[in-house]
Amino acid sequence: MSAPIGVIVVDDHPVFRQGFAALLASIDEVEVLGTAADGAQALALVEEVHPQVVVMDVQMPVLDGIETTRRLAETHPDVGVVVLTMSEEDDTIFDAVRAGARGYLLKGAEPEEVVRAVTTVASGGVVFGAVLATRITDFFARPRQQESVPFPELSPREREVLDLVAAGMSNSQIAARLFLSQKTVRNHVSAVLTKLRAADRAEAIVRGRDAGLGR
């Protein structure tokens, strides 16, 4: 009999985190090695317990799931990340894929689907929910745009947020403009600062305006 798959669960909502960990722990093929409430805790826990798979939310404090996935891909490429989130936004899906996630499921997926994703990713495979797989296929089937865009390392949504930041808008104003929660806007702004290696919001504004944004 093969050894169970070592998994850690990362989510900032304690009820979901504990409930989901209990679900996985009830599966014979899986061993839950620990849980974490944010990306920073997850990185430390990976170093401590050496899981095969990390099941991770996207929107979290301290360090979000996308950046955590990117760091894990760089430092622990043998660890498979399955993103499990509420977000169906194309930007979030493709950011996760670019960061190195090997699975992407929506919260509410059937337990069997989640377990199948964990076992597939642990064996080196890639898994996306049926709806998301179709959207990914459609995206890559589109003709590639040739025109250059400022800050190509940013996702379209992050570039849109930077444009509004460069225009001098506050997070609450941006949230109202884009019909997003202020938490989501804060996460986007944090991702922009990280990807641009900007020291603070003021530096991001200057760099955005220099690139023609915020007008």
Asked if residue 49 lies in contact with residue 17, where contact means CB atoms within 8 angstroms, the answer is no
Tell me whether residue 46 is exposed, middle or buried, using C-beta atoms within 10 angstroms of its C-beta: 0 to 12, 13 to 18, 19 or more. Answer: buried
Q: Which amino acid is at 73?
A: A
Pick from 28, 25, 75: nearest CA to 55 = 25
CA dihedral 108, 130, 159, 75 (to 10 degrees): 80
pLDDT at residue 146, rounded to an integer:
46
Pick from 117, 122, 148: nearest CA to 51 = 122
pLDDT in tens, the chain (215 residues): 578 999 999 999 999 999 999 999 998 889 999 999 999 999 999 999 999 999 999 989 889 999 999 999 999 999 999 998 887 777 788 888 888 999 888 888 888 888 888 999 998 888 876 656 666 666 656 555 545 678 888 888 899 999 999 999 999 999 988 888 899 899 999 999 988 888 899 999 989 998 889 87
